[in-house]
Chain A
Amino acid sequence: MSTMDPATSPAARPEPSVGMPTHQKAIFVVLLILLVALPWFVYPVFAMKVMCFALFASAFNLLLGFGGLLSFGHAAYFGMASYVAAHAAKVWGLTPELAVLAGTAAAALLGLAIGSLAIRRQGIYFAMVTLAFAQMVYFFALQAEFTGGEDGIQSVPRNDLFGLIPLESNMALYFFVLVVTFGGILFIHRIIHSPFGQVLKAIRENEPRAVSLGYRVNRYKLMVFTLSATLAGLAGAVKSQVFQLASLTDVHWTMSGEVVLMTLLGGMGTVFGPMLGAAIIVTMQNYFATLGAWVTVIQGVIFVAGVLLFREGIVGLIARWTKKPL
């Protein structure tokens, strides 16, 4: 497919070698220190929400920014994992790590199924197909027994981690969420900087050429799609443990739109952009919640401004000024 305009995605620039650059490692270390200290300054539940969405947006960015595939249905994996994890914790009484694992596995299977169909079309059609399948998942969640329809799955218990460590307090849960989401994000960046990630970039930049070099493009696409869906599912599964709730909001197309917005705002194809975008959007929703439908209008305006004025996103702009891939 013709992919993202190379000039607008800083990561498109040739990188000297495989592996994460030193300055990115440094930023990750600083970020980790800040996150460890964060719950003493910010309400932990809010911080956990930001981290879940940071992982969600990073997983989405893996597909869009590095695979060059725009999925408009990522809420399906996020939401379905959230339902399965909530169900596993509440009805099956599984411990949090197993519940999260179950949710993530469900997202992986769903991603594999939808991905294998969606990669048959390219570009704009790919976006429409993923959106339509996500809507199908939404209708499933609306009608199925175990999802609780309009009510969702409420008051999901926070069971003991490994059956040993109580997670009732927000502080304890915070560090569980921190380990899982940060680990997820590091995993994504391991993928990006791996040989597999380099092939993905090659496909994004010039698909026919990648084919002529002997790469089985569709396999790579399906693999990155499934990985992205799986990690989006991980984020959704963790979120259901944090809020003790899985609801239709998580599978609705507005959620798919939000993750696109976070990535676009932060900078698609950048390492840190989606995290920043997630932090900004979640903060905005938090503080502007009283404005009702204006939040939708503001999100729309950010979309329009983002596409017309700064397609590189915030981190993309910073990366251009500092001349370092971020």
Chain B
Amino acid sequence: MFELLGIPPQVLMGQLLLGLINGSFYAVLSLGLAVIFGMLNIINFSHGAQYMMGAFVAWMLLEYLGIGYWWALLLAPLVVGATGIVLEKLMLSRLYRLDHLYGLLLTFGIALIIQGLFRNYYGISGLPYQIPDALSGGQNLGFMFLPNYRGWVIVASVIVCFSTWFVIEKTPLGSYLRAATENPTLVGAFGINVPRMITLTYAFGVALAGFAGVLAAPIYSVNPNMGADLIIVVFAVVVIGGMGSIMGAIVTGFGLGIVEGLTRVFYPAGSAVVIFVIMAIVLMIKPEGLFGRSA
């Protein structure tokens, strides 16, 4: 087998895989943020809390109702999306005429409430969630061992990301969405119910977060703080990529995950901050973000 700079290939591949998994979560979460930002012009600070909710709903479905992983993968995003509809109708919709910063503050408050409530009832020690039987075990690829579940996480995220991209960029529904992003009044004049579209967009964005949460449940332990620190990294990802393009969010998410994994191989102490360092560099060279339109 080949060796690179004295690093055994198993280690390199293992960290690359780990990076790709993190990248999957970055991609799905930053995609959700970008979709919401495009339509509502707010940054959804509660995205991390909604990701955590997705994992918890999956855990509750199994614990209280005996509903397994595959149904959870469908039901948990629906539940999280439904709470998103309520949030948008009751609160966010009152803020569209105000400065965008109020949306950030409001969703930050919502994140505190959700995280606080879950911490109250479930503590901060994680709850275990089993890998479904169909995905336990792994494949020996010769140069490394690939656990089936981790492979599945990557595949599932890629599918979800590209379906979202396809719907938004290539279908009539997506064209309405993009048009409403540009000029909501004009699109409303064509008889399209723009407020409902906004509500559903928000619900879809947070459902993506919930979906990522279910994917994460068997890998990371399910705990109320799981989304809190992650979302800050995702913010950095979003700043690097710029929120102008859907594909930009996806590519940046996966790419930065891989970069983070590589850093863990070559300079472990830097892996926690490498994304922030890249953000600083991007701000110096191309402040509007790699895929951003100049603001």
Chain A interface residues (CB < 8 Å from chain B) = 2-5, 70, 72, 117-118, 120-125, 127-129, 131-133, 135-136, 139-140, 142-143, 253, 257, 260, 264, 292-297, 299-304, 306-308, 311
Contact = CB atoms under 8 A, between A and B. Distances in A.
Contacts of A292: 119-120
Contacts of A3: 99
Contact of A296 (B115, B238, B239, B272): B115
Most chain B CB neighbours (cut-off 10 Å) among A118, A124, A136, A260: A124
A131 B239 CA distance: 11
A132 B37 CA distance: 18
B279 A129 contact: yes
7 contacts: A117-B283, A117-B284, A118-B283, A124-B43, A133-B279, A142-B272, A308-B106
Interface stretch (B18-26, B53-61, B164-172, B229-237): B229-237
Given A128-B239, A308-B91, A70 B109 contact: no
Q: Which 10 A-B pairs have the closest CB atoms?
A: A303-B109, A300-B112, A296-B116, A300-B113, A297-B116, A136-B276, A293-B119, A120-B287, A132-B236, A304-B109
A304 B42 CA distance: 15
Task: Tell me the dominant secondary structure on chain A's binding face.
Answer: helix
Given A117-B280, A132-B232, A301-B113, A127 B104 contact: yes
Nearest to B238: A128
A60 B58 CA distance: 40
A313 to B, nearest CB: 12
Given A128-B238, A293-B120, A303 B100 contact: no
Given A122-B295, A128-B235, A132-B236, A307 B276 contact: no
B117 A303 contact: no
Interface in B97-128: 98-102, 104-106, 108-117, 119-120
Given A293-B116, A300-B109, A307 B102 contact: yes
Interface residues of B, number: 45
A2 B100 contact: yes
A293 B225 CA distance: 12
A190 to B, nearest CB: 27
A243 B217 CA distance: 39
A225 to B, nearest CB: 14
Interface string B261-295: 00000000100110011011001100100000001
B116 A143 contact: no
Contacts of A4: 99, 101
Contacts of A2: 99-100
B123 to A, nearest CB: 9
Contacts of A257: 108, 112
B4 to A, nearest CB: 26
A122 B239 CA distance: 11
Contacts of B283: 117-118, 120-121, 129
B82 interface: no
A301 B101 CA distance: 17
Nearest to B117: A297
A292 B106 CA distance: 22
Contacts of B272: 139, 142-143
A303 to B, nearest CB: 3
B100 A135 contact: no
A36 to B, nearest CB: 35
Contact of B91 (A122, A124, A295, A304): A304
A133 B109 contact: no
Nearest to A122: B295
Contacts of A140: 273
Interface string B18-39: 0000000000000000000100
A250 B48 CA distance: 22
Contacts of B233: 132, 135
Contacts of A123: 100-101
Given A135-B276, A296-B119, A307 B105 contact: yes
Nearest to A126: B101
A136 B232 CA distance: 10
Contacts of A72: 104
A302 B108 CA distance: 11
B245 to A, nearest CB: 15
Given A257-B112, A296-B119, A297-B116, A132 B239 contact: yes
B22 to A, nearest CB: 15
Given A4-B101, A133-B276, A304 B110 contact: yes
Contact of B120 (A135, A294, A311): A294
B135 to A, nearest CB: 32
B46 to A, nearest CB: 10
Contacts of A295: 116
A136 B239 CA distance: 15
Contact of B99 (A5, A118, A121, A308): A5
Contacts of A297: 112-113, 116-117, 120
Most buried by B among A70, A128, A257: A128
B239 A307 contact: no
Contacts of A132: 232-233, 235-236, 239, 276, 279
Contact of A311 (B102, B269, B284): B102
Given A124-B100, A124-B101, A308-B95, 7 more contacts: A4-B101, A127-B104, A128-B238, A132-B236, A135-B232, A299-B112, A300-B109
Nearest to B42: A124
Given A124-B104, A128-B43, A253 B109 contact: no
Interface in B46-102: 91, 94-95, 98-102
